[in-house]
Amino acid sequence: MSNHQQIQATDLFQPYTIHHLTLQSRIVMPAMGRAFSPNGVPGPDVAAYYRRRAENGVGLIVTEGTVINHPAATSEPRVPLFYGEEALDGWAEVVRQVHEAGGKIFPQLWHMGMARPAGSQPYPEAPSMGHQALIWKVI
Ligand SMILES: Cc1cc2nc3c(=O)[nH]c(=O)nc-3n(C[C@H](O)[C@H](O)[C@H](O)COP(=O)(O)O)c2cc1C
């Protein structure tokens, strides 16, 4: 569709192709934290949750914030991890089900920075770290 054509609300529900990616609709679901993954592992209920969104026409799903591999990245052990075999196996099942239902999905990667309260689980001994400290660690 060119910019010169009038866009109708019904176009939202039509497939949309950008480069090599074709979405079943123009509807994109934003990241929305849920914290339903005990020990950071997304289980069958999480896969079913994302699958329902794809089944009901969402073209592209951005997952809830998922925790990167750093001890101060999160403050809540039920927020899903995006590292480790068990958590990644759980995500693989989420992806499989979303694709089966015609949707596409990608993860939001998350580090809480200095918003993390000191002493938070699952690594209470880890000091909270903001972006400057993290950049120094990387360098
Ligand atoms: C329950 C809930 C959880 C959310 N969790 C996240 C999150 O994990 N990461 C994020 O970037 N935004 C999160 N958001 C913000 C949403 O992505 C945001 O509300 C959405 O993009 C719509 O933007 P608006 O609220 O400015 O209209 C959350 C919003 C809600 C309502």
Q: What is the CATH number of the domain that holds 111?
A: 3.20.20.70
Closest CA to 58 of 106, 1, 90: 106
pLDDT tens profile 87-116: 999 999 999 999 999 999 999 999 999 999
Ligand 1 within 6 A of CB of 31 = yes
Global model pTM greater than 0.85: yes
Residue 120 is assigned to a structural domain of this protein: yes
Ligand 1 within 6 A of CB of 107 = no
Residue nearest to atom 23 of ligand 1 (CA): 30
Sheet holding 104-110, edge to edge: 28-29, 60-67, 104-110
- Other C-beta atoms closer than 10 Å to the C-beta of 79 total 21
pLDDT tens profile 23-49: 999 999 999 999 999 999 999 999 999
Structural domain of 37: 19-138
Residue 45 is assigned to a structural domain of this protein: yes
Work out how many domains the chain is built from and give that number: 1
Residue 109 is assigned to a structural domain of this protein: yes
